[in-house]
Amino acid sequence: MRQFSVLAVFLLSSCLGFSSLAGPNWQPSKEFKAYWLTGKREVNHYDLVQELDGQKYEGQAHLIFKAAYFSRSKQHEVQAEDEGAMPVLELNQLRSFKEGEYRLMQSVFRPIDLVAEPFCYKVSNSLQNWEGHRFDQINLRAYNYRQQQFSYASKEGDQQRDLPKVLLQDELFALIRISPEKLPLGRFEFLPSSLLSQLYHSLLVPKTAEASLSEEGELANYQLTYAQGKGSLKIQFETKFPHSIRSWEEQYYSRGQSYYSKAELKEGK
């Protein structure tokens, strides 16, 4: 088991094999193979501040990464030998705050071969609080994304809509871990965080952003700023492989209000 003295990282064994995890247009480096293609998970723990209802609540966040095989047609995890299986980096993100009253989980399935598979395939979100449960899922289709949403609330429940086939903010953490030099820069269209959209009861619609990447010694900062300043995301990660994510900050606007969140990696865990 590999140890990282300043990172809250644990590698947990799983039963998957990854001897053929490489697409025709992408060749993993030796260090990528040694770290990710071993059938293990990486678990990172963060101190969280999440704003809601005009207050900032302390909580916990977790980023759990693993390599897996994923079906292009069925869009769920499969075995390596199954027809249409492709390698993905799967991210499970968990957040809990307001003394556990709010619990959020997001799963992202990002193909590892960024050339052959330029789009994220699937994102699912769930939110639980004392009022009820909400769930939504975004799936890649031939010409667009399809979002399905279910909720205890009548105004939000049992909805389906088509969304443009553009970059997802939800996939940025996975892109950093796969190949940060492939992060989108400049001005582009994207879909904002579907997790925050669910938390703040906001309709998910495409927006325009400007993105930049800078380095400060051993750390890099990726800054995504929504057009007209209506939202932002800043991710700090290590320039050295495996590009561990140290922190992130979010500013999200919904129904005329601004919401802030921040997560910082726990040291020495």
Each residue's pLDDT tens digit, 88-118:
999 999 999 998 899 999 999 999 999 889 9
Q: What is the pLDDT of residue 76?
A: 86
What is the token pair recorded at 145?
């994304």
Torsion 178-125-129-198 (CA) sign: positive
What are the backbone dihedrals phi and psi of residue 16, each rounded to the nearest 5 degrees, phi first? Answer: -80, 155
pLDDT of 1 > 70? The answer is: no
User: How many beta carbons lie within 10 A of that of residue 132, not counting itself?
Assistant: 11
Q: Which residues pair with 67 in a beta bridge?
A: 89
For residue 3, is it within any domain?
no
Q: Which residue has the tokens 């193909």?
A: 111
Q: Which domain holds residue 231?
A: 10-265
CA distance 184 to 167: 9
Q: Which residues pair with 222 in a beta bridge?
A: 213, 235
CA distance 71 to 77: 6
Confidence band for 219, pLDDT divided at 50, 70 and 90: very high
Q: What is the pLDDT of residue 19?
A: 35
What are the backbone dihedrals phi and psi of residue 32, each rounded to the nearest 5 degrees, phi first? Answer: -65, -45
Kindly give, in sequence order, each residue whose CB lies less than 8 Å from that of residue 210, ignoring residues fewer than 6 positions away.
186, 187, 224, 225, 227
CA distance 114 to 48: 30
For residue 84, is it within any domain?
yes
For residue 208, is it within any domain?
yes
Kindly give, in sequence order, each residue whose CB lies less than 8 Å from that of residue 158, ignoring residues fewer than 6 positions away.
149, 150, 151
The more confidently predicted of residues 268 and 267 is 267
Q: What is the pLDDT of residue 7?
A: 40
Domain count, the chain: 1
Least confident span in 14-28, 92-106, 132-146, 198-212: 14-28
The tens digit of pLDDT for each residue in 48-60 reads: 999 999 999 999 9
Which of 21, 30, 26 has the alpha carbon at shortest distance from 113?
A: 26
Q: What is the pLDDT of residue 17?
A: 37
For residue 1, is it within any domain?
no
Q: Which residue has the tokens 């940025």?
A: 172
Percent of the chain with pLDDT over 70: 89
The tens digit of pLDDT for each residue in 161-207 reads: 999 999 999 999 999 999 999 999 999 999 999 999 999 999 999 99
Q: Which residue has the tokens 């499969």?
A: 78
CA distance 41 to 63: 10
CB neighbour class for 228 (10 Å; exposed up to 12, middle 13-18, buried from 19): exposed
Q: What is the pLDDT of residue 152?
A: 86
Q: What is the pLDDT of residue 23?
A: 43
Kindly give, in sequence order, each residue whose CB lies less than 8 Å from that of residue 219, ignoring residues fewer than 6 positions away.
236, 237, 238, 239, 246
For residue 5, is it within any domain?
no
Q: What is the pLDDT of residue 108?
A: 98
Percent of the chain with pLDDT over 90: 69
Q: What is the pLDDT of residue 26?
A: 58
What is the token pair recorded at 55?
């207050």
